[in-house]
């Protein structure tokens, strides 16, 4: 197995050193860049398997870097921000990042996210075979990994929208638009309650795998069964 090469772009030295230690322990090789201006030249000459990119950097900011990166490359990208409120705005900008992490983060969580994003970015994992997820809209039924789920209309719609874009994070606002297209405004708690019923139904049938994943303080995403 080849080692994945991860680029950490972060100007807080202590943080990047600790993060590098954790990732190295998980078997990754690490390169750290502190100045935003150094990112593109490095990436072009030595493309990493994944980039952890801090938003606020000296030299050049993370937004700018993400935009240029996506103009020529689909290298898996996890953006790191110091403010949780920022994540909604970043999602809205559609930078093409694969995930977002908010500081302060747990190192174990970052390692888990890195693993997930790398697994998802493997070409063979990007599309799931038709027999893994089958959606029957008329009957509000879904078959996941051969297990049949009986859902309410709202649960079905939530599952459908997320399953069509595996790995994409849906904010509660995104989901609200889907299940109440009439523009009705309901509380985040209403959305959470529908999603948690959906998750429970899936979990009862497929306890070994988390299919609809809660992304802390941001929303939810559908994870590919593998
Ligand atoms: Ca910073």
Query: Is the same domain home to 30 and 134?
Result: no
Residue 11 confidence (pLDDT):
96
Q: Biggest alpha carbon distance in the chain?
A: 55
pLDDT at 208: 85
Domain ends where: 120, 136, 161?
A: 120
Cβ count near 154 (within 10 Å): 19
For 25, phi then psi, to 5°, come to -60, -30
The verdict on 38 and 22 lying in the same domain is yes
Ligand 1 center to 57 CA (angstroms):
5
User: What's the pLDDT score for residue 130?
Assistant: 53
Domain of 174, CATH number, reads 1.10.10.10
| Boundaries of domain holding 46 | 5-120
pLDDT at residue 121, as a whole number: 74
Is residue 79 located within the same domain as residue 47?
yes
- How far, in Å, from the CA of 74 to the mean position of ligand 1? 23
Q: 38 and 102 share a domain?
A: yes
Give distance in angstroms: CA of 193 to centre of ligand 1. Answer: 35
Are 135 and 111 found together in one domain? no
Nearest in space to 175 (alpha carbons), one of 223, 138, 220: 220
Q: Which residues surround ligand 1, an ion (CB under 5 A)?
A: 11, 54, 56
CA–CA separation, 126 vs 119, rounded Å?
A: 9
CA of 122 to the centre of ligand 1 (A): 29
pLDDT in tens, the chain (226 residues): 568 999 999 999 999 999 999 999 999 999 999 999 999 999 988 889 999 999 999 999 999 999 999 888 889 999 999 888 888 788 877 788 999 999 999 999 999 999 989 887 764 333 455 567 888 888 888 988 888 999 998 999 899 889 888 888 888 888 887 777 777 778 888 899 999 999 999 999 888 888 999 988 789 999 876 6
pTM (two decimals): 0.56
Instruction: Say what the pLDDT of residue 2 is.
Output: 63
| CB distance 15 to 21 below 8 Å | no
Say whether both 70 and 45 belong to one domain. yes
Instruction: Judge whether 166 and 224 are in contact, CB under 8 Å.
Output: yes
Report how far ligand 1's centroid is from the alpha carbon of 55 (Å).
6
Do 39 and 80 lie in one domain? The reply is yes
Q: For residue 59, how far is its CA from the centre of ligand 1 (angstroms)?
A: 11
- Residue 37 C-alpha to ligand 1 middle, in angstroms? 13
Q: Is residue 167 located within the same domain as residue 202?
A: yes
Residues 113 and 198 in one domain: no
Residue 60: the pLDDT is 96
**How many domains are there within the chain?**
2
């Amino acid at each position: 197995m080849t080692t994945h090469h991860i680029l950490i772009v972060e100007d807080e030295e202590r943080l990047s050193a600790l993060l590098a230690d954790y990732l190295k322990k998980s078997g990754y090789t690490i390169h750290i860049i502190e100045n935003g201006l150094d990112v593109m030249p490095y990436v072009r000459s030595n493309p990493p398997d994944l980039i952890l990119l801090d938003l606020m950097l000296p030299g050049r900011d993370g937004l700018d870097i993400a935009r240029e990166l996506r103009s020529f490359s689909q290298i898996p990208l996890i953006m790191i921000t110091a403010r949780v409120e920022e994540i909604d705005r970043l999602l809205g900008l559609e930078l093409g990042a694969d995930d977002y992490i908010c500081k302060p983060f747990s190192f174990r969580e970052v390692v888990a996210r890195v693993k997930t994003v790398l697994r998802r970015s493997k070409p063979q994992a990007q599309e799931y075979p038709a027999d893994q997820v089958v959606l029957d809209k008329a009957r509000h039924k879904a078959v996941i990994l051969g297990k049949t789920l009986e859902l309410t209309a709202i649960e079905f719609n939530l599952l459908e929208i997320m399953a069509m874009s595996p790995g994409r994070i849906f904010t509660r606002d995104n989901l609200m638009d889907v299940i109440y297209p009439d523009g009705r405004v309901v509380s985040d708690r209403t959305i959470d309650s529908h999603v948690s019923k959906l998750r429970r139904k899936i979990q009862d049938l497929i306890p070994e795998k988390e299919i609809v994943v809660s992304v802390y303080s941001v929303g939810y995403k559908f994870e590919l069964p593998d």
